[in-house]
A and B are shown apart, each in its own frame.
Chain A
Amino acid sequence: MQYLHNIGTYFLMIAEMFRKPTKWSVMRTLILKDIDDLIIGSLGIVAFISFFVGGVVTIQTALNISNPLIPKYLVGFATRQSVILEFAPTFISIIMAGKVGSFITSSIGTMRVTEQIDALEVMGINSLNYLVFPKFIALLLYPFVISIAMFLGILGGMAACVYGGFSTLEDYITGIQMDFIPFHIIYAFIKTIVFAFLLATIPSYYGYYMKGGALEVGKASTTSFVWTSVMIILLNYILTSMLLS
């Protein structure tokens, strides 16, 4: 019963988020701030993880190709497919659920605990529009982050492949160009947009509706990370079945 109540409240929150819009001059500032916090602030960690995980994917693929009949350029092909189809959109989204999701839940939760949300409501401001909508708009730039993750993942793979001596640069480049299906990029970005929506709304929900004090803010952040990750994995499966099957 509680799950149904939570799901209902979540959808009502989304509907409320689009009502009574905040004055544009204020909203613009909020959106820019959230772009800085959520998108620009995540680029460093995303770049670091993407580059090195791309390298690991390449090394593991290369080490598992022991048959001399399998061409070396398959290392580049496998890296590209792994990075574009799964690693960049899904794996990075789960990392973002930890980084960005916890930030959103704890910042909104702290505002709830310290009555800042009540202060907005007393002033007649739609606090959901004021707090959640700019995060949703900022995360529309999330595909930009994922594009960087894709590029750096493949670049990291290239560095690991060439400097690790697993194949030549020419083989790797041949591999990443081989049998390229443009729809795979579209598929990855559809997933990314859906995950961006989850990243903006689920952590906001847990922060906005939390009750209690500082300890509960911490608990809400953990719960929000768990549920955002679960929903990302679940929708990843559903979208992959729908789009690629």
Chain B
Amino acid sequence: MIKVNNIEKSFGDAHILKGISTTFEKGKTSLVIGQSGSGKTVFLKCLLGLYTPESGTIEYDGKIYSNLSDSDKRELRAKIGMVFQGSALFDSMTIAENVMFPLRMFTKQSKSEMEDRVDFVLKRVNLVDAHKKMPSEASGGMQKRVAIARAIVNNPKYLFCDEPNSGLDPKTAIVIDNLIQEITDEYDIITVINSHDMNSVMEIGEKIIFLKDGYKAWEGSNKTIFKTDNEAVTNFVYSSELFKKVRRMYLEEDL
């Protein structure tokens, strides 16, 4: 479990995160949503240890991250898989080399073992003949799938995704969402996704945290989000007519 206790983060005079507390559980896909500038990416980077909160703690399976030694932090990070918003594939490597990278860095597997594992995960994300392509030759959806394959290749315990659907067409976005949820269930891992894609919220948000101006304004799931009367959430989630209709239909069905 990841437990976040009252974390605060500022950059100069800008107070970005204001006392956020929550937990993320194993086998669940959790979504952090909110408007641009609400602090989602900073929150995710605090979870990843890329930013250090000024106060508050982040616990990974009961161990406070900031109290870990450098070697323990490295060990923990080897168990983290991350899918960046822009995929962040290494553009000097082929797709297969990108996926193999965590194995080369953190395992003592032989080349053939690593190749087998790369074949397996690329197949898992539905990329069969892409091994020798360079990232620049792959489409946005393919790049995201490679990034997911790289994130899961070393059997992570924690998977973080920063806006995995940004820049993708709706059909590919659904494929990516489903893939992330299937992987979460299959490997029983903790998955945290930053998103402002409402389809993702409705489809895979087993837990949803809504950030507004650096505060946690609401916490629930894709089931309870229809019923909430929290003004901040309804203004954000149901800002489009389509989602207003979906909500009305859901509530009518529920009655």
Give the interface segment out of B70-78, B172-180, B181-189, B216-224.
Answer: B70-78
The answer, yes or no, to whether A114 is at the interface (CB within 8 Å) is: yes
The A interface is mostly helix, strand or loop, or mixed, namely: helix
User: Of the candidates B78, B84, B92, which one forms a contact with A119 in the assembled complex, judged by CB atoms under 8 Å apart?
Assistant: B84
The answer, yes or no, to whether A26 is at the interface (CB within 8 Å) is: yes
Contacts A114-B91, A116-B90 given; does A23 touch B105 at CB 8 Å: yes
Nearest B-chain residue to A119, judged by Cβ: B88
* Contact across chains for B105 and A114 when beta carbons are under 8 A apart: no
Contacts A20-B70, A123-B78 given; does A115 touch B50 at CB 8 Å: no
A119 CB contacts on chain B under 8 angstroms: 82, 84, 88, 90
The answer, yes or no, to whether B19 is at the interface (CB within 8 Å) is: no
B88 CB contacts on chain A under 8 angstroms: 114-116, 118-119
Size of the chain B interface, CB-CB below 8 angstroms: 26
Contacts A23-B105, A26-B105, A122-B48 given; does A115 touch B78 at CB 8 Å: no
A23 CB contacts on chain B under 8 angstroms: 104-105
The answer, yes or no, to whether B102 is at the interface (CB within 8 Å) is: yes
Task: Mark interface residues in A213-241 (1 if CB within 8 Å of B CB, else 0).
Answer: 00000000000000000000000000000
The answer, yes or no, to whether A169 is at the interface (CB within 8 Å) is: no
A103 CB to nearest chain B CB (Å)? 12
User: Of the candidates B50, B76, B104, B106, which one forms a contact with A121 in the assembled complex, judged by CB atoms under 8 Å apart?
Assistant: B50
The answer, yes or no, to whether B56 is at the interface (CB within 8 Å) is: no
What's the count of A-B pairs with C-beta under 8 Å?
53
* Contact across chains for B85 and A124 when beta carbons are under 8 A apart: no
* Contact across chains for B82 and A124 when beta carbons are under 8 A apart: no
What CA separation (Å) do A25 and B70 show in the bound complex?
A: 22
Nearest B-chain residue to A116, judged by Cβ: B88
* Contact across chains for A115 and B90 when beta carbons are under 8 A apart: no
The answer, yes or no, to whether B80 is at the interface (CB within 8 Å) is: yes
The answer, yes or no, to whether B86 is at the interface (CB within 8 Å) is: yes
A159 CB contacts on chain B under 8 angstroms: none
A33 CB contacts on chain B under 8 angstroms: 92
* Contact across chains for A122 and B104 when beta carbons are under 8 A apart: no
B193 CB to nearest chain A CB (Å)? 15
B89 CB contacts on chain A under 8 angstroms: 116
* Contact across chains for A118 and B84 when beta carbons are under 8 A apart: yes
A242 CB to nearest chain B CB (Å)? 39
B48 CB contacts on chain A under 8 angstroms: 122
* Sample of 5 more A-B contacts, CB < 8 Å, known A118-B84, A119-B84, A124-B76: A110-B91, A115-B86, A118-B45, A122-B77, A122-B80
Q: Chain A interface (Cβ within 8 Å of chain B)?
A: 20, 22-23, 25-26, 33, 110-111, 114-116, 118-119, 121-125
